[in-house]
Amino acid sequence: MSELTITALRFGFLLLLWVLIFSIVSAMRRDLMIGRKAATGAPTAREVRKHPELAPPAPAAKQQARQLVVVEGPLKGTTLPLAASPILLGRAQEATLVLEDDYASGRHARLFPQGSRWFIEDLGSTNGTYLADQQLTRALPVELGVPVRIGKTVIELRP
Amino acid sequence: MIQQDAAPKPRRNVELALLILALAVGIGASAMVDLNSETPFDNDFWFQSSLLVVAALSFHVVLRLRAKYADPVILPIVVALNGLGLALIHRMDGPGSDTGNNQLRWTLIAVAVAVTAIWLLKDHRILRRFTFISLAASAILLVLPLIPFISAGEVLGARVWIQIGSMTFQPGEIAKITLAIFFAGYLSSNRDLILLAGRKIGPMQFPRFRDMGPMVTAWLVSIGVLVFQRDLGSSVLFFGLFIVMIYVATSRISWVVIGLALILGGGFVASRIFPHVAFRLDSWWNAFTPEVYGRSPGGSGQIVQGLFGMADGGLVGTGIGLGRPDLVPFANSDMIIALIGEELGLIGLFAVVLLYLLLFTRGFRAALGTRDAFGKLLACGLSFALALQCFVVIGGVTRLIPLTGLTTPFLAAGGSSLLANWIIVGLLLMISHSARSPIDTTPMPDAPTEAVKQP
């Protein structure tokens, strides 16, 4: 075996060792990136372009509530189209939805639009208003399909 | 907290690619050794290489099956180091000596044991149940070499070997794993107690005296190893392991201060009482004095020859199989770093040191990522044990610190060390699997009704 071949093999082996090290380091790079992204929050636009899987999921199209449905209680099945005006719920005759419910107060609760959402607010009723099993203490937004209970009546917003 | 964004990936294909490179390093080294022997590329070479490939690939397959999310770079690093070690030990084998084949046999046994551990344990948290059993096991393992019938007697000045039939074994190597398991289990359950109680003196908070119990035990164990087994290296390793684990558990610098004070005190007394410790210090400090160089026992000839060898290697080395490492005693075990420095040069030696460094960082990364305190402490302790071992050996060979008898992990000839280190790698892979695998988010069987999202 010639001197030249042996020298080439010697340097080739050292090169191989360092190739291994650089491959290991580049395999670890992704791990370091994860830490950095976690620290800075959302990936940058450049990172998203390079790694499409990092893109945050597109927000679901917001659906507007179009009608109010009574799903339980004496008025079960009643629907009421929602406009841009607030709705008064209660036993009183001036209420938008007059509840035939012994457990409801006269002026029980108010449902009002704000921005793109509807909010429900208790008007000092005797038996309280419940949004998804939680008694209201202040005005809270009502999402689609979340039950609102007033006495024995349960209403929901539907698209 | 750590990897919440992109879904975790197993990355086993990356591991396979790196593994092929690592095997190329090991087999390439072996081929260069063979080129310079009388019978290049005989059956032995092909047999050994294929065994190494089979061992590495079967480990890889087991990881695919059992620990899919384990760290992808640990196994390739270890295979590269082990393959390089095998080639270099084979290179040092003279006619009639069989150290290379013995090392290959132990490599296969060690891989088999590590694979079995991963296959059977599956989850490192099970080990926590064996906290006090591992303490007892450590005590037994450390006492074994002193029991007359199975002890292999005093070998090279240290009483650390046992003999079963014709096989010799160093139980202290396994003891470092069981001790790490004990410390991790004990500290992960008693951490708060140690952390909260204590007096504050100046800027440092000192622990209560009775919480010092385990520390005193660890110190006594190390001193016992030093006195009865005459093994300075293991003594330093056990005590260092304990200090680091308690420091990691409590993040109190006072433990390190107390520990270092105990080491310095113990070391000073030991150097006064025991001649072998005094010789070690003297041959480190006055290595180049002629009378120290030629002294027997306890001369500095080994260190100095190693240094000359490394100087001869220079930047790029003489090439594998072309140097004269036979001038250095124990060139295939204690002084294998000097052999690498001579035949692969500074560039090769740095590559090896970097491989070790990458291995430790992956161990600590697993410790950071895993979610249970026991796993964190265990991964920390085990990676630190490897790191300390490398520091003590490489520092000793390069005359930074006194030379003590520890083995270079994965490189040096020695079956028990190889077995223990492969088990450590198995445990680290298991911990990294639990650190990197996705959190189970399927709902519990009796989950209450889904809470409604409120702003």
Query: What is the ipTM, given to two decimal places?
Result: 0.87
Q: Where does the pLDDT of residue A38 fall: very low under 50, low under 70, confident under 90, or very high at 90 and above? A: very low
User: How far away is chain B from the Cα of A133, in angstroms, using its nearest Cα?
Assistant: 9
- Which of A4, A5, A13, A32 should one mutate to test binding to chain B, selecting the residue with the greatest count of B CBs within 10 A? A13
Mutate to test the interface with B, among A6, A7, A10, A120 (most CBs of B within 10 A): A10
A17–B contact, CB cutoff 8 A: yes
Cβ neighbours of B3 in A, within 8 Å: 34, 38
Q: Is A22 on the interface with B (CB under 8 A)?
A: no
Out of A20, A53, A131, closest to residue B25 by CB: A20
- CB of A34 less than 8 A from some CB of B: yes
Residue of A nearest to B19 (CA): A20
Indicate whether A21 pLDDT > 90.
yes
CB within 8 Å: A34 and B24: no
Q: What is the pLDDT at residue B212?
A: 67
pLDDT of residue B447: 43
Interface mutation target, options B14, B352, B357, chain A, most CBs of A under 10 Å: B14
- Flag residues of chain B having pLDDT under 50: 1-5, 444, 446-455
pLDDT at residue number B5: 45
* Mode of pairing for the β-strands spanning A109-114 and A87-90: antiparallel
pLDDT for A44 = 63
CA distances from B127 to A28, A155, B158, B217, B274 (A): 28, 55, 31, 21, 38
Q: Among B128, B57, B446, B379, which residue's Cα sits nearest to residue B244?
A: B379
Model pLDDT, residue A1: 66
What is the reported pLDDT for B239? Answer: 87
Q: What is the rounded (10 degree) CA torsion for B438, B120, B372, B199?
A: -170
pLDDT at A103 over 80: yes
SS (H, E, C) chain A: CCHHHHHHHHHHHHHHHHHHHHHHHHHHHHHHHHHHHHHHCCCCHHHHHHCHHHCCCCCCCCCCCCEEEEEECCCCCCEEECCCCCEEEECCCCCCEECCCCCCCCCCEEEEEECCEEEEEECCCCCCEEECCEECCCCEEECCCCCEEECCEEEEEEC
| Mean pLDDT value of segment A63-80 | 82
Confidence of residue A71 (pLDDT cuts 50, 70, 90): confident
Residues 88-147 of A with CB under 8 A from B: 131-132, 134, 140-141, 143, 146
**CA distance, residue B90 to nearest chain A CA (Å):** 17
How many interchain CB pairs under 8 A, A with B?
Answer: 97
Question: What pLDDT does B367 receive?
Answer: 92
Q: Among all chains, which residue has been given the structure tokens 């964004």? A: B5
Residue A101: both structure tokens together: 């419910």
Per the prediction, chain A carries an average pLDDT of: 80
Write out the two tokens for B262.
Answer: 């105990």
